[in-house]
């Protein structure tokens, strides 16, 4: 099983954490999340993963509450969507989180 894991900083207080496992060229597990340093610790803002056996997206607010959105995608497609969405929209997600506009 091959594992890839890395962190991409966007700014001093914002980063993307990427993790995925493949087996036989297929993604069998993944997690991609946007994190913001808030009050001295890293907090998740948006996370894509397959922790419940299906691809989904969780959006978090400052209180740690979240909304779950099921993605009707194969893990490979959900992983690509996650990377692209966070790369393209991290500033919007960060601003919503800071303003308290996340779910």
| Residue written as token pair 């490979």 | 76
pLDDT of residue 41: 95
pLDDT per residue over 46-103, tens digit each? 999 999 899 999 999 988 889 999 999 999 999 999 999 999 999 999 999 999 888 7
Q: 5-18, pLDDT tens digit by residue?
A: 999 999 999 999 99
Q: What share of the chain is helix, strand, coil (3-state, %, to 5)?
A: 25, 50, 25
Q: What is the pLDDT of residue 88?
A: 98
CA-wise closest residue to 64 among 44, 92, 89: 44
- What's residue 103's pLDDT? 76
Q: What is the predicted pLDDT for the residue at 71?
A: 97
Residue 101: what pLDDT? Answer: 85
């Amino acid at each position: 099983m091959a594992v890839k894991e890395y962190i991409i900083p966007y700014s001093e207080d914002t980063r993307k954490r990427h993790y995925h496992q493949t087996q036989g060229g297929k993604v069998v597990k993944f997690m991609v999340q946007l994190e913001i340093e808030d009050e001295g610790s890293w907090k998740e803002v948006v996370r894509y993963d397959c922790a419940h056996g299906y691809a989904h997206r969780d959006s978090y607010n400052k209180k740690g509450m979240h909304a779950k959105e099921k993605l009707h995608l194969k893990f490979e497609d959900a992983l690509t969507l996650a990377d692209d969405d966070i790369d393209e929209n991290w500033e919007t997600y960060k601003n919503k989180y800071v303003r308290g506009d996340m779910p």
